Structure 1
Amino acid sequence: MPLGLRTKKKGRSREPEPGAVQHRPPLVFSAQLAHGSATARVEGFSSIRELYAKLGLAFGIAASEILYCTLSTPKLNMESLLGAQIGLEDFIFAHVKGIQKEVTVCKSEDVLGLTITDNGVGYAFIKHIKAGSLMAAVPAVSVGDHIEEINGRSIVGWRHVDVARALRELEKGRPFSLRLVEPQKALGECGPAQRGSRGLDSGVAPGRGTLRLRPKGRATVEELVGGGGSLGARLALPLATTIFEAGKDKLNPDEFARALDDALGDFAFPDEFVFDVWGALGDAKEGRLH
């Protein structure tokens, strides 16, 4: 008989057999719509796509309305974007589609000044606009805008590296158009975020655990090791050293990000991880490895 499936004899209680499988209750997280809503509870997800589906059910909206999520703040803080992991005490805020807008810009410079990322399920959006750049002079374009079309062509479903490449390859000196969708704005300031509800018997100390989402398979709870910091910061140096010593440091950032995706699956690494490793690779080139 499989472990954990033993039956109890009537009128008699017994302790679990040594080595029996102990099934933990699912982790439960608190969530709100970033522009304002009642608090909902979501649980039982192992990927970004599943989380969006759960959020859609909780708030009575289509999952496709969700652009991205931030953790523990309803503000458009790009440093708080939900990536491949969620702290066990994080409060989830879902940013949903708002006003659609179209802009036409003449590409007068080689570089637009946009940093593009994606939500892991097909929506690319603007993560950063470089000060003084061409796009910084276009007031209708904002950080957090989802890029839906480029020159009338839908890019829904594209990864951020492909969107960035398409923007870079636009012909200089010619106008191009973007269809953008901005997230809904709050009518008033949301109250301070409460702590999310941790799963019962998680076995991880508060503030020390993270739920790691998987492209395939079940999510896992992991305990943070050492002095904290991002996953990329903790692993960047050894990984960059390996790449450098293997002589595979000739990739540009887009190719590097694509190589990681190809090796480990879609959304295996958030942008922060790629940036950390790319920075450490630069240190390797300059002989600053320790």
Structure 2
Amino acid sequence: MDKLLGGQIGLEDFIFAHIKGPKKEVDVLKSEDSLGLTITDNGTGYAFIKRIKEGSLVDQIKAICVGDHIESINGKNVVGCRHYEVAKILKGLEKDQAFKLTLIEPMKAFEMIEPRLKSGTLSEAKISKGRETIRLRSKGPATVEEVPSEIEEKAIKKVDDLLEIYMGIRDSELAATMVEAGKGKNNPDEFAVALDETLGDFAFPDEFVFDVWEAIGDAKQEQF
């Protein structure tokens, strides 16, 4: 809160409170391996649609929107699951089969707020140069952390690309978790152990783990 009040988080970095809106059920035919979804969660058991890839399968279904909370998949309640657990369920659905999503729309109110004028009391530097982000966890308090470095951002992008190849779902939050697990590791074996400790439920194949390790290393080498 001190960092918020001190202007170290820019006014452009909106913090949204997800207030439940109407519930909706959507039938989806999984005609492609990739749905085109990026999923995140709030650290307390609620998974949300963070991004929809333009031109993807889900992009053609206008009833599914960014910000929707995923309540259940084919009647299976996923409240309490982390975003990567929800991604794993969606990836495991059979191709060319229909499935049902139960979604809850968020209440929308920010459209009524006009952009802040540049003549405001805070300096432009404080408004546009915030480099912090708030991270919510299932255990422990929320913390304000530095956003990923340029090297980490490139690594996250490479790992996210691999997630789409192997799992059919883009998930930058999961990619960031995997890059974080690779910090301080000296070889693929140490990295594999760290992944098992952090994301053991996913049971990533050895080939995927090795490719992720190489992607993180490639991102670091590009800086030199």
Question: For the aligned residues, what is the CA RMSD?
Answer: 4.4
Residues 1:128 and 2:56 are matched in the alignment: no
Residues 1:288 and 2:192 are matched in the alignment: no
Question: C-alpha distance in 2, partners of 1:137/1:219?
Answer: 35
Residues 1:147 and 2:70 are matched in the alignment: yes
Aligned partner (choices 22, 27, 31) of residue 2 of structure 2: 27
Question: C-alpha distance in 2, partners of 1:287/1:221?
Answer: 25
TM-score by length of 1: 0.47
Q: CA deviation at 1:133?
A: 1.9
Q: Is the 8 A contact 1:241 1:281 kept in 2?
A: no
Question: C-alpha distance in 2, partners of 1:148/1:261?
Answer: 22
TM-score by length of 2: 0.59
Residue aligned with 2:217, SS: helix
Residue aligned with 2:88, SS: helix
More helix by share: 2
Aligned partner (choices 182, 187, 190) of residue 246 of structure 1: 187
Identity %: 40
5 Å-filtered alignment, 1:261-272, equals none
5 Å-filtered alignment, 1:99-114, equals 99-114=22-37
5 Å-filtered alignment, 1:95-244, equals 95-186=18-109, 189-192=112-115, 215=137, 230-233=147-150, 242-243=184-185
In structure 2, what residue type is equivalent to 1:129? I
Residue aligning to 2:9? 87
Q: CA deviation at 1:168?
A: 0.4
Cα deviation per residue 1:187-225 (whole Å; 9 max; x = unaligned)?
Answer: 85213359999xxxxxxx966785876856677778x7x
Question: C-alpha distance in 1, partners of 2:219/2:15?
Answer: 40
Residue aligning to 2:164? none
In structure 1, what residue type is equivalent to 2:9? G
Q: CA deviation at 1:185?
A: 2.3
Query: Quick one: structure 1 residues 241 and 281, their matched pair in 2 at CA, closer, same or farther if it must change by over 3 Å?
Result: farther
Q: Which sections of structure 2, spanning at least 5 residues, go unmatched?
A: 156-178, 201-210
Q: Is the 8 A contact 1:91 1:193 kept in 2?
A: no
In structure 1, what residue type is equivalent to 2:188? G
Larger relative contact order (C-alpha < 8 A, sep ≥ 6)?
2
Query: Quick one: structure 1 residues 287 and 155, their matched pair in 2 at CA, closer, same or farther if it must change by over 3 Å?
Result: closer
Q: CA deviation at 1:154?
A: 0.9
Residue aligned with 2:18, SS: strand
Q: Which sections of structure 1, spanning at least 5 residues, go unmatched?
A: 1-25, 31-71, 73-85, 198-204, 225-229, 263-277
Question: C-alpha distance in 1, partners of 2:40/2:94?
Answer: 22
Indicate the larger mover: 234-243 or 166-175.
234-243
Query: Quick one: structure 1 residues 188 and 209, their matched pair in 2 at CA, closer, same or farther if it must change by over 3 Å?
Result: closer
Q: Is the 8 A contact 1:88 1:196 kept in 2?
A: no
Question: C-alpha distance in 1, partners of 2:198/2:220?
Answer: 24
Question: C-alpha distance in 2, partners of 1:209/1:129?
Answer: 25
